[in-house]
Chains A and B, each alone.
Chain A
C-alpha cells in the first residue's frame, strides 16, 4: 500500500472520493506519524478523538461530495477553534478555549476537512524562527549534519508539519513573511494572499493592517485548492474584500508564455550568499526558457521596508495585545490593586519578544514620538506601495528569493533582534503593500537544505502567481528529502 501521508492534499481527497481508501484510513496513517513525531514539537494540542469520530461519520454517510472531504488538517494555533484550546503559543492564552470558530477554519470544516490539532508558532506570531513560542522550539525536519535547525517563523509548526507529512496541508498567517519564510526553510509551498482576500475574523490579531491567512502545502495545486476554500468575503471583517468567487485550482495552467516578469535590482543585496543569487538566476532562466519576458525593474524604497514594518507592526500589536489584561480570559497574576494585577499579568504572561514589540509599539505611538516614527512609517509605506503600483504597469509578476539564507541553527540570531528581523527582508514588502506573494521550493543547497523563490503579484491576482509557480514547479521537479530521522 502507498504511504497515504505522502499524498498531496489534492491526491488524498481524490483517493477518498474514488474510494481508494476510507477517510478513517487516511486519518489513521496521519495519526500514526503524528504520534511518533512529538520530538518535532509541531503540535500545541491534538484533537485526535474528535478527528476519528468525524472520519467515521464521513465514511458512514458515504457522502464524498465536499471539496476537502476527509482531509486531515492541522492549523496554526492562532485560529480560534470552537471548544479546542487556542493559545497563540503564549502563556497568556495557555488555557483559552474559544466558544467560536474563525471564519477561515470554519470554511475548512464546511468542506468536510478534519481538524487534527493546533500547530505551534512564535508567540502571537512574533518571530522568524519559532523560538519565541511558550511551548518550545519546533524542529525543522531538515537538519545540518545532525544539528537541529529552526523551521522559520512564525508559522514554524505549520511548515514543519507539512514538510514532515504530519498534516495533508495547513493554513498559517503571514504578517511580514510568517507563511513564506518558514515554507522556504522547510521546502514547501506558502502563499500569502492579497490583504482582504481571506477573512481575519477569529484569528488572534498581531498587526491588523498586515495580517493575512494563507495556505501552506506540499505543492502549488494544493495551495490553489486551500485558497479556493478559505478565501472570500466575510461581512464580519470590514477589511475583507468583496470579489467574485472563482476557482484558482480549476483555472490553474502551466503556461507563462509572454508573461512579463520583473526582477527588482534592489533585492540584490550586499553580502547575499552566492547560493541565493544563483538560485535566483536559475528561476530567471527557467522562466525565460518557458517564454516569459524578463524585465529589470526598480523598487526604490525596498531598503526602507523592514524599518517601516518594525514601526507599524509593533504599533498595531501594542494596541491589539492590550486586551490581554487578565480581566476576562487568559492568564492572570495577582496584584494588590488593578494596576498591579495588569502589570504582573502582562509581565509574566508575555514572553520577551512580545514584550519588546509591545514596548517599541507603545513608544512609537506615544506623545511626542508619533510623528517622528509612526507617521513617518505610514508615509514610507505609501512610497513602498507606489513603487509596486508603478512596476506593475510594466510587469505581471515580480520574482525574488524568499529569504536571504537557508534555515539556520537555533540560537544563532535569537540574541540580536535586528539580525532576526533581517530574515523578513524580502517578504515584508508584500505585506506593507498588501500584495499576494508565494514561496515555492526550487532546489537544495550544498548542505541539503531547501532554497525557495518568491513571486509577488498584483492585487487580487493570485491566479497569475499560482500559474507561474506551477510552471516553474513542473520544471524543477523538487522532491522532498525529509528523512524521518526523529521517528
Chain B
C-alpha cells in the first residue's frame, strides 16, 4: 500500500522545514433545539426569529441543558474511541463581543465530557493515527453582519446558543493533505453516528487551525499561530500553506513568531492578524454557577454504546473480508454511510463485482457530474439491483445495460418494464441469431475467406458486426458459439 512517501516540507532558503498542525473542529450537534434553550436550530431562518430570552441573555435568564446534545457528544466520543468522563463541568469563558449576548460562552474547560481518543487516516504512504485530545460541549455565538451599513454592524442571534462539539486534535497532523483527510474522516464518523451533518457551507463544521513549523529533525515545537474559523477544506489547506510559508520566511530572517490569533482572507489568500483581538485575551474561565456538574451513570453511557452503528473503519474491514474487495474499493464505498448502505443493498441482492463496477463506475460518474449526494441518486438501490439481475440472467447485454441506465436516470419505473417497453431484451433465439449471422457472413464473403486462410483476428470483427446488426441485442456468448460453428 505504501508505494508513496510522505513529502510535505517547506524548503526555505536555508533549511527544510516540517509543518505541525493541530485542529480545533467545531461541529454543530444535529439537534432540534439549542444547547441551553428550547429555540430552534434550523438553518436559514429570518434574523432573530429563533432567539429565546435565554439566547438573548435577558436579565435573570438561566440555562437548562438539552439531554439529546449530551447524548450526541457521548456518541461522538465513543465513535472517536475516546474516554467518556462520567464527571464533567461547564465553565464560563468570559469575553466581550457584540454577538456574544451573555458576555461569556458556556463551555467546558478543565473537565470536558470526552477525553483522549483517536482517528485513523488512510494516506497514500500508509495508515496514520491522529490523537484526539478532547471533545467538549459549548454554545455557539450569534452572527455579526458587517456589510449592510457603512457605519453599523447588525447582530443576528439565531445561532446564539446552538450546541457545538469542539473536537481538539493533538498536534499530529503534518500536511494540508492529512488535514483534509482528517476532516473528511471526522465528518464521516459523525455522519455515520448522525451527530453532526458536517455541512461546511452552512457552518455546521468549522475549524480553528493551529500551525507551527520546525526544522526537519528538530524535537521541540515552534511557536504556533491559530487561524480562526475557516470553513472549507480548500481554504483550510490554503491557509496552512500560506501560514507555514510565512512562518518559515520570518524564522529564516532571524525573526520570531508571535503567538497570535489570525484570520484567513479568502479573497487575498493570506492570513493576517485579527484586529478585534489585538488586546491579549484573558478568558477568566470559572465553573458555571448556574449549572451543577454533569454526572453521568455508567449505564447511561453503556446504553448509548450499545446503540452505536457500525463505523467507517469497521465497515471497511468487513467489506474487505466479506466481499473480498480491495482495501481501496472498500475505502471508497464506506467513506460515507449512505454510499455504503446503497452498495450493500445492491451487492447483497445481486453480484458483488458487478455492484462495485456499477456503483463506483456509472453511478458515481453521474452523481459527480450533477454534484448530487447518493441519497438524491436518480437511480435507487432497488432499481440498480434489478438492472444487474437483468444482466446476470442474460435478459440484457452489458452494452444494453448502459443504455438502460441512461433511461433509468429519467424514468424511475422498474427496469424490467423499461426493457420490455423499449424492446431491449437480449436476442437469444438461435434461429433468429443464425439469420443475422448468415446475413453478416453473406455481406462479408471476402473477410470470411481471409479468416479461413488463417487471419484469426477477424473473429472479433464478425462478433461486432453481428451485435451491431442486432442493434446490440444479440447475446454475445451465443453469438460467439454460433459463429465458431459457422466458420469452422
Contacts and interface: CB of A to CB of B under 8 A. Distances in A.
A binds B: yes
Nearest to B95: A322
Interface string A365-381: 11100100010000000
Interface string A302-334: 000000000000011011011101011100000
29 contacts: A80-B58, A80-B60, A93-B59, A98-B59, A98-B60, A99-B53, A201-B61, A202-B60, A204-B59, A205-B59, A205-B60, A208-B289, A209-B289, A236-B64, A319-B94, A319-B103, A319-B284, A322-B96, A323-B57, A328-B57, A329-B59, A338-B98, A339-B96, A342-B96, A365-B94, A365-B286, A366-B282, A367-B284, A370-B286
Nearest to A342: B96
A367 B109 CA distance: 14
Interface string A91-106: 0010010111010000
Q: A207, A238, A342 — which one has the most chain B CB atoms within 10 A of its CB?
A: A238
B405 interface: no
Contacts of B56: 328
Given A319-B286, A328-B101, A367-B282, A204 B57 contact: no
A88 interface: yes
Nearest to B63: A238
For chain B, what secondary structure do more than half of its interface residues adopt (helix, strand, loop), or is it mixed? loop
A68 interface: no
Interface in A199-233: 200-205, 207-209
A240 to B, nearest CB: 9
Q: B104, B286, B290 — which one has the most chain A CB atoms within 10 A of its CB?
A: B286
A202 B60 CA distance: 4
A362 B58 contact: no
B102 interface: yes
B65 interface: yes
B153 interface: yes
Interface of A: 79-80, 86, 88, 93, 96, 98-100, 102, 200-205, 207-209, 235-239, 315-316, 318-319, 321-323, 325, 327-329, 338-339, 342, 362, 365-367, 370, 374
Contact of A323 (B59, B63, B282): B59
B290 A374 contact: no
A315 to B, nearest CB: 6
B217 interface: no
Contact of B58 (A98, A207, A237, A325): A98
Given A325-B103, A367-B282, A239 B290 contact: yes
A208 B59 contact: no
Contacts of A239: 62, 289-292
Nearest 3 A/B pairs, CB to CB: A322-B103, A208-B289, A365-B284
Nearest to A102: B60
Contact of B291 (A207, A238, A362): A238
B104 A200 contact: no
Interface string B258-300: 0000000000000000000000001011100111100000000
B155 interface: yes
Contacts of B64: 235-238
Contacts of B159: none
Given A203-B60, A338-B153, A366-B282, A323 B290 contact: no
Contacts of A237: 62, 64
B292 A238 contact: yes
Interface in B81-95: 92, 94
A199 to B, nearest CB: 9
A224 B62 CA distance: 27
B60 A204 contact: yes
A315 B287 CA distance: 11
Contacts of A366: 282, 284
A166 B282 CA distance: 47
Given A362-B284, A365-B284, A322 B62 contact: no
A328 B441 CA distance: 89
A366 B281 CA distance: 10
B57 A319 contact: no
Given A366-B282, A367-B282, A96 B98 contact: no
A325 B56 CA distance: 12
Contact of B53 (A93, A96, A100, A342): A100
Given A238-B64, A319-B286, A366-B284, A100 B96 contact: no
A238 B291 CA distance: 6
Contact of B92 (A100, A238, A319): A319
A99 B59 CA distance: 11
Given A319-B92, A338-B153, A329 B290 contact: no
Interface in B44-67: 53, 56-65
